Each structure stands twice: as structure tokens, then as C-alpha cells.
Amino acid sequence: MKVAIITGISGQDGAYLAQLLLSKGYKVVGVVRDLNRKLHGLEYLGIRDQVTLELCDLWEQASILRLLVKYKPDEIYNLAAQSSVGLSFEYPIETIKFNFVSVLNFLEAIRLHDKNTRFYQASSSEMYGMVSDLPVRINSPMHPLSPYAISKASAFWMIVNYREAYKLHCCTGVLFNHESYLRSSNFFVKKVIVEAIKMTSNPDMVLRVGNLHVRRDFGYSPKYVEAMWLMQQNPVAKDYVICSGTSILLEDIVHHIFHRLGLDTGKIVVDKNLSRLTDIEDIYGDNREAVSDLGWDYNLDFYQVLDMLIDEEIRNTPDAQHLAARLSEGPAGHFFH
């Protein structure tokens, strides 16, 4: 039985990745920073009891070394991070320190303990930031625009360095935005869906948003975690861009959700205070290398994903049962294309 360690198991991707690895017969060890924390994602997927939880301080190299000695993992998936761009402006030092030092601690521990342990690092398209040539490919120049992006870029180059210097099987997946029902509610798509559902029974509510005139490449988390696993099976450790390959205007996302829920788009209020300090107009990636090398298949249109997310949110919101009739009507169809 293969053993996999997942950090960040309490997050969105951690839960879906655990589900995928369990379905493939792995023993899954999930690293948490507090054993009393509620593991909503694992509980929602009904796999809480199938995962071994381990307390480990990722700031401490000795803690990580003990973890490797105890479980002798075949594969490590490092998903733990301060993952919000917005929060990284409020907590730049903590973000950069944690998102970088935790990765370096793992690499050092693997080098010292067992160089055959495979390591996957969750990187982010945010590293590319101010791009001039689209689509983004793995070798596109990086110009990160936030402390979060800088932390991920630093970790990216550390991985490259350990791969080249010590021949470790370590790689990064450069993931573009990906969503699911388990996404935290401080992220754009989840926030809009949750707020919009509340608005259907609160006529006085409005939706406050930042700049909607930017385009981003969005995908579906349960499919993106498949790419993580495929990268670990690759005989050669290599970094890949994981994305849908097209970008979508944030305004179209909000309008699609409002249309699906029968809401008036006049209730969307633009609040400049909610815009990012530095932003780019458009970014999308090229996933063809992941498709051809790894056999990763992704063909979901994001409007299709949005419909799935809205339906799942309604099913799980006790106060939203008045919307259930809409679900039985089937997909609303695409508003904007």
C-alpha cells in the first residue's frame, strides 16, 4: 500500500485529493496544525475516518523529519499555505515566511531522510502576475504582484534548485484558480454564489464587488487534484501549468449566477475599496503539456462548473429550499456566449 502525506488537508484541494488517493488504495496521512479544528471538507466527502491525522508544525524541520521517519511516505503533497492574495497584503511577512520556509523544511527533510520520496508543491499562476504574452507557459517570465505571489515564486525556485542540485523527485503544479463547493467563502466565486443565494430571500441586500472588468482562467478543483497525482506518477519530475486554457470576465461570472438565481443585476454595487492594489486585466494558461505528457483530461466549460456549484450550494443551504424548483428545471443555459 502506497503512503501519501497531504499538508493542507483541511482546505479545498486537500479534501478532494484525499478522496482521490483513497479511491486509488493509498494510506492517506493528513497533516493538521490543530487536532480540534473542524475538518469540514473531509466530513462533507464522508472520508474523515479513513484519513490518519497527524499534528505537525511545518515551521519546524525536526517535526517534518519525525513525520517522514514515522510514515516513510512514497509521496508528499504540500498544499498548506496562506493562500489568500488579499490577506497576503495584510500579513506579508507571515505569508512569505510560512509559504517559503515550510517548503524548504520539506526539501531538506527529504534530502536527509530518503531521496526517493516524491514531493509535489502547490504553486500558483499568481507567480506570473504582470504577463505580456498569453497564454502563460511554464517558462513564461515571472512578475509577481503580491506577497503571496512572491512567496510561491520563491518556493518554486527552491524546488527547481533541489531537483537540479540533489536530483530529488520534486515538482510543482502551477495551478490557475479552481473552485468547488469546498472553497472558502472569502474567495470570489464562492462568495458571490453564497451572497446571491442569500439575496433571493432578502430583497434589500446588494452584492458589493471590486473590479469586475478583469478576466481569469477558472477550473474545477476535483479535476485539478487529478493532475497533482499524475505529476507524482511521472517518471521524470517536471513542473506543469494546470488550467482550463481560457479566461472569463468576472462580470460575466456574476451575471451568470444572478441570471441562474433570477436576481436583478442592478443590485451589483462596485466598491473600489474591494479592488486589489495591483491587478492585471487578463491571464490564462496553456495546459497542452499537461494533457500530452501526463494524459490529464480537462474539458469543462466554466459556466457548466458554475451551474454545478450553484446547485450544490443550494442543496446544502437549509434556507434556500425555495430555490430547489430551479434545480429541477435543469441548467439555465449560458447567459453570455
| Longest pairwise C-alpha distance within the chain | 61
Q: Is the dihedral of CA 219, 297, 233, 239 positive or negative?
A: negative
* Single residue of 19, 83, 117, 244 touching ligand NAP by CB under 6 A: 83
**In terms of Cα–Cα distance, which of 299, 303, 181, 171 is closest to 241?**
171
End-to-end CA distance of the chain: 47
Shortest Å, Cβ 200 to ligand NAP = 26
175 counts as binding ligand NAP under rule CB under 6 A: yes
Under the binding rule (CB under 6 A), the answer on residue 12 touching ligand NAP is yes
Q: Identify the CA nearest to 253 among candidates 203, 219, 299.
A: 219
User: In the bound complex, what is the minimum distance in angstroms from residue 244's beta carbon to ligand NAP?
Assistant: 12
Instruction: Pick the binder of ligand NAP from 5, 6, 8, 85 (CB under 6 A).
Output: 8
Q: 215 and 336 in contact (C-beta within 8 Å)?
A: no
Q: Which of 4, 28, 122, 253 binds ligand NAP (CB under 6 A)?
A: 122
Say which DSSP state 136 is in. B
Q: What sign results for the dihedral spanned by CA atoms 312, 77, 276, 273?
A: positive
Least distance from ligand NAP to the Cβ atom of residue 30, Å: 9
Q: Which residue is nearest to ligand NAP (CB)?
A: 11
The reply to whether 146 sits near ligand NAP by the rule CB under 6 A is no
121 strand-pairing partners: 78, 172
From 16, 26, 120, 148, the catalytic residue: 148
Task: Return the beta strands (E) in the chain as ranges.
Answer: 3-7, 27-32, 52-55, 75-78, 118-124, 170-175, 178-179, 207-209, 215-216, 219-220, 240-242, 248-249, 268-270
Looking at residues 232 to 261 of the shown chain, list those that interact with ligand NAP (rule: CB under 6 A).
Answer: none
Contact with ligand NAP (CB under 6 A): which of 52, 184, 265, 321? 184
Active site residue 126: yes
Pairing assessment for the beta strands 118-124 and 75-78 based on DSSP bridges: parallel
Sign of the four-CA dihedral 274, 221, 330, 202: negative
Q: Of the candidates 5, 6, 14, 222, which one interacts with ligand NAP according to CB under 6 A? A: 14
Active-site pick, 54, 126, 179, 195:
126
Residue 195 annotated among the catalytic residues of the structure: no
- Residue 137 makes CB contacts below 8 A (sequence gap 6+) with 241, 285, 286, 289
Q: How far is the CB of 206 from ligand NAP (least distance, A)?
A: 26
* Contact flags string 15-44 toward ligand NAP, x per CB under 6 A: ------------------x---x-------
Annotated active-site residue 132? The verdict is no
Among 4, 13, 239, 260, binds ligand NAP (CB under 6 A): 13
Residues of the shown chain interacting with ligand NAP in the complex, contacts defined by CB under 6 A: 8, 10-14, 33, 37, 58, 79-83, 98, 122, 124, 175, 177-178, 184
Active site residues: 124, 126, 148
